[in-house]
Amino acid sequence: MPIHFPPPQREARDPAKRRRFATELLGRLWPQQRADLRGRVVVAILFLICAKLINVSVPYLYKRAVDLLDIAKNDNHAPLLAVLGLVLAYGMARVGAQAFGEARDAVFAKVAQAAIRDLALDVFNHMHALSLRFHLERQTGGLSRVIERGTKGIQFVLQFMTFNIVPTIFEIFLVGGILWVLYGWEFTAITVGAIAGYIAFTLLFTEWRTKYRREMNDEDQRANTRAVDSLLNYETVKYFTNEAHEARRFDEALSRYEQAAVKSQVTLSALNLGQGFIIAIGLIGVMALAAKGVRDGAMTLGDFVMVNTYLIQLYLPLNFLGFAYREIKQGLVDMEAMFNLLDVPAEVQDAPDAMPLAPGPGAVEFDAVDFAYDPRRPILQSVSFRIAPGRKLAVVGASGAGKSTLSRLLFRFYDITGGSIRVDGQDIRSVTQLSLRQAIGIVPQDTVLFNDTIAYNIAYGRPEASEAEMREAARMAQLEPLIERLPDGYQTMVGERGLKLSGGEKQRVAIARALLKRPRVMLFDEATSALDTHTEREIQQALGNAAQGVTTLVIAHRLSTVVDADEIVVLEAGRVAERGRHETLLALDGLYARLWRRQLEAAEAEQRLVASTV
């Protein structure tokens, strides 16, 4: 069954999934194999405690200074040095609290970034482990957005939980205890009540407005997917002069994003206003109690200032707490989307007892192979053939006969539904995928190159190869004439997907890359079908160099490229219709002979057309 990518912005309501988030984060914040990172966590916690303890002492020092100044107003003998000392201590306490906070951030930064890096690498590796089916169905723009937002979500959750939520809760308890001990439970009750109201309002209102943020992210992802898809198909857009059509589609997505973003901002403003109103009520209540205490002589002017300072000091992070909660909540939603990627199972997996492919000469055998992408539509039925070591076998047939599926099955991008495929007598399902693919080289029909240099793309076949080996592979692939014409030689950039090179030049790079890999089996998957006749003849010699002494499977559309094969297998509707050498199949006057005559007539017609235009 096809693997469908789950909606990226579904909210994480499953308790089991939330527990998994917590476990994943805690495990990465306290990694078992990294004592240095665990030590940093401990030091960061100590710095956090020191910062908050110093921070709650600041209002008390301020109170003492105010009380001494109040005394000095009526007593010229008041100790001025004591006042200056308190002012100095007040300033140093503020600097000290900030210094410990910054030290905490600096120490913990490596822990957070290591966790993000570790998870991002896990997702990247998992993406490569997923089946070809998943990657054929995915949307590149949307997927990149999910991964980008997921890693940022982790950063937000780690940052706000560690540096904002937990420290603020710790400070609330400290301040509440101090107010209770010094001034009575009424001060603590009003303070805690205001905070509880603030948190309740924030949670409920944020829950309600999350749908607008989710809608905004959905539209952002949709717009990004359309933009990336359009840019990847740049030439097609130009061919059909559909720039205006693409701009209109993109603008429609941006318009929906604009509407969702406006709703999100309006509700955010309403949330901020409500939070400010609740804070103001709490502040008024506590300050009214403090003013009454000063009037009754139970509190000094310094006490009045201290209570006000505590509340302002406490409400400042509370203002940020609303933003932190929203970011944490959105971070969890974004994290869920990325964790959903990790939940997508790998369709093709190594067997528990899989061993590396044993050394051998490269014999390949398809034994009664059945396969279907969809059970309702069989692609291959009882396909059998054997390629002896060092020999060349070609598979031909009309479009849709199942030829290219053979290459995907040999590389084990999909598992067969019946029969077996063996390399040197070993069933490929019993060996590791890594060792199997290391033993096979391929020159595909559609060669996709990395946006890097020619040298990098050739060396990709075996990155550890020396420069001399890379150049030798290029020579055998007949790339030297091209290299000599280029001002930057091997350091020439090939462009996105190799668009700066012609089809024949890209094929030569692909041949050189396959040669450098030194495989025991070489696979040519319609390697010249997209080339003109002249270029095809030039590439054939390079392909011949690549096939020397190597077991070769050629999947071909043009029969002229396989006349020298040791055996030709003709597929029709997923079954082996004919087999034999070129001359034998022509003598049979069957399907192969009809295909041959049809292509011969097409080639002659092409030559007549070229001659008439000269």
**How does residue 20 score in pLDDT terms, banded at 50, 70 and 90?**
low
Q: Same domain for 253 and 182? A: yes
Residue 581, pLDDT above cutoff 90: yes
Q: Confidence class of residue 119 from pLDDT cuts 50, 70 and 90? A: confident
Kindly tell me if the per-residue pLDDT of 237 is higher than 70.
yes
User: At which of 287, 314, 343 does a domain end?
Assistant: 343
Q: CA nearest 362: which of 472, 436, 461, 445?
A: 436
Altogether, the residues listed in the chain come to a count of 614
Structural domain tally of the chain?
A: 2
406 in a domain, yes or no?
Answer: yes
pLDDT of residue 387 exceeding 80, the answer is yes
Work out whether the CA dihedral 516, 520, 525, 529 comes out positive or negative: positive
Reported as a pLDDT band with limits 50, 70 and 90, residue 165 is confident
**What mean pLDDT comes out for the span 198-213?**
80
Given this model, what pLDDT does residue 606 score?
66
374 torsion bin: left (phi>0), alpha (psi -120 to 50), beta (else): beta
User: Which range marks the domain in which residue 612 is found?
Assistant: 362-439+523-533+552-614
More confident residue, 65 or 551: 551
**φ/ψ (deg, to 5) at 397:** 155, 170
Give the model's confidence band at 384: pLDDT under 50 very low, under 70 low, under 90 confident, else very high: very high
Alpha-carbon distance of 313 to 315, in angstroms, equals 6
Examine residue 1 and state whether it is found in any structural domain, yes or no.
no
pLDDT of residue 336 exceeding 70, the answer is yes
CA-closest candidate to residue 265, choices 316, 209, 329, 218: 209
Q: In angstroms, rounded to a whole number, what is the distance separating the alpha carbons of residues 543 and 394? A: 13
User: Are the beta carbons of 262 and 272 closer than 8 angstroms?
Assistant: no
Is residue 306 domain-resident? yes
Average pLDDT (538-566) is 79
Same domain, residue pair 25 and 77: yes
279's CB contacts (< 8 A; 6+ apart) are: 194, 198, 315, 318, 319
Per-residue confidence band for 570, with pLDDT thresholds at 50, 70 and 90: very high
Torsion of CA 233, 236, 237, 240, to 10 degrees: -170
Q: Could you tell me the CA-to-CA distances from 328 to 1, 11, 207, 332 in Å, in that order?
A: 35, 12, 12, 6
pLDDT at position 136 is 64
Q: Are residues 372 and 337 part of one domain?
A: no
- How many other C-beta atoms lie within 10 A of the C-beta of residue 105? 16
In this prediction, what percent of the chain has a pLDDT beyond 70?
86
When the pLDDT of each residue in the chain is averaged and rounded to a whole number, the result is: 81
- Shared domain check, 56 and 23: yes
Predicted confidence band at 521 (pLDDT cuts at 50, 70, 90)?
very high
Of 316, 343, 370, which residue constitutes the final position of a domain? 343
In a domain, 472, yes or no: no
Q: Are residues 29 and 115 in the same domain?
A: yes
5-19: average pLDDT = 50
Report if residue 86 sits inside a domain. yes
Q: Residue 338: its pLDDT value, please?
A: 76
**What CATH number has the domain bearing residue 237?**
1.20.1560.10
- If you count DSSP H runs as helices and E runs as strands, how many of each does the chain have, helices first? 19, 10
Q: How confident is the model at residue 12 (pLDDT cuts 50, 70, 90)?
A: very low
Q: Using one digit for the tens of pLDDT, what is the confidence trace for 282-314? A: 888 888 888 888 787 777 787 788 887 777 777
Tokens of 303: 């006490």
Distance CA 43, CA 51 (A): 12
Q: Are residues 242 and 287 in the same domain?
A: yes
Q: Is the distance from CB of 306 to CB of 63 less than 8 angstroms?
A: yes
Same domain (yes/no): 312, 398: no
pLDDT at 308: 78
CA distance linking residue 220 with residue 226, whole number of Å: 10
> Same structural domain for residues 79 and 28?
yes
Same domain, 304 and 367: no
Q: Are residues 296 and 417 in the same domain?
A: no
Angle at 66 between CA 65 and CA 67, to 5 degrees: 90
> The pTM is what?
0.64
With respect to residue 495, please indicate whether it lies within any of the assigned structural domains: no
CA angle 438–444–450, rounded 5-degree value: 80
Domain assignment present for residue 459? The answer is no
Label the pairing between strands 364-371 and 380-387.
antiparallel
pLDDT band at 220 (very low <50, low <70, confident <90, very high): confident
Q: At what angle do helices 166-183 and 185-232 cross, to 10 degrees?
A: 170
Domain boundary at 296, 314, 343, which? 343
Handedness of CA 417, 441, 495, 117 (dihedral sign): positive
Same-domain pairing of 222 and 370: no
Q: Do 264 and 389 have their domain in common?
A: no
570, part of any domain: yes
When pLDDT is averaged across residues 520-545 and rounded to a whole number, the result is: 69
**pLDDT for res 375:** 84
572: domain CATH number? 3.40.50.300
